[in-house]
Chain A
Amino acid sequence: MIYTRNLKKLYKSREVETMALINVNIDIDEGEFVAVAGPAGSGKSSLFNILGLLDTPDSGEVFFMGKECSRLSQNKRISLRRGNIGYMFKDFNLVDELSVYNNIELPLLYMPYSRKDRQKMVSEILYKFKLDHKRNNYPEELTRLQQQTVGLARATVYNPKLILADEPAGSLDSTGGGMIFELISSVNEAGTTVIFFTNSISEAQRASRIIRLFDGHIVTEAIQKEI
């Protein structure tokens, strides 16, 4: 599905240079459920952006669906990730001005779906995640768990091949966290590759494979269990 070779990412401020990623090599196959774990500053966000094709590495290669994309222009990367990658964030990042329905519909607006198709797809996902009764509500009217469920619905409404989730339970309590992971697992079971990023070992243990990052390096890689 996605693999990287010798990824390097360097951040420069006025006087300080920080190596965010150093020689990162990752191989993730289709249908895998992978956790990238590490403490704050370990390079998780940089890896999230590069794997999500939101950013490019300073050196090294990224292959997504067999295509090398580390040197692609922004528009080409958008074309490649459009419909193929779904994103979830710790702070949900829902648009406050849009209703639940419109938030979920948002990615579809930039894809060639007709109004009718969009209605059908959004209704199906609302039904699937039991959000039907909240379709006209605004994010501020939802619980945090409901907000993250909308986030997951938005990430999966177009059936992407890969879902990247940045600390998906980071803003939830343990019960909520557990419930959101169950939903993510169900998406993975349906065949979607899932990579989530976390600083919690217990959360990471929900994945079938854990990649541990520390100071920009991959320190260990371990297969947990078959799900």
Chain B
Amino acid sequence: MHDHHEDEHEQRAPGEDMALRVKALESLLVEKGYVDPAALDALIETYETRVGPRNGAKVVAKAWTEPDFLDWLRRDATAAIASLGFAGRQGEHMVAIENTAETHNLVVCTLCSCYPWPVLGLPPVWYKSPPYRSRAVRDPRGVLAEFGVELPASVAIRVWDSTAEIRYLVIPMRPAGTEGWPAERLERLVTRDSMIGAGLPLRPEAF
């Protein structure tokens, strides 16, 4: 369909080719009045500076410290999370899943790149790439080992393939040794990967 681009591959590096192709499409979309360049800047700024995994960390720390909030998360995660101001695109239908001593949860989207944007931001490249998408459902223990997570053989693994518009947020187990910590301090232990299930929270010794 776009043979004109094939001719150019010989002369240019792939990134350069894509840069030109995107620039040409943007010019055309703007010229036709379909997009407003200022809106493009606002979209980019939103996901580069305002939406990211620190949002999810707030949700997790609140769940760790407030039983009523945890209960709300279990009943209606979308509303509970929205109460903190995190809602909307790619987080319209949220479900929180809790790790326990018996079961570890891992989230994947084998078919594309579904990911809870309002609480985690845009997904990292590995989450969207074939090695993770292909193996998370078949060999999650092997996947976790590559992330440095070794679970006892007695711990069951539950993988959630995000094949619809439900978006899953893993609530990792609260690390031991954090008794009495305020939510603001606990937030710092909550990593992005721990909310996907590909990691564990940081150890309290570091803080």
Asked whether A and B interact, the reply is: no
- Partner-A contacts on B (CB < 8 A): none
- Partner-B contacts on A (CB < 8 A): none
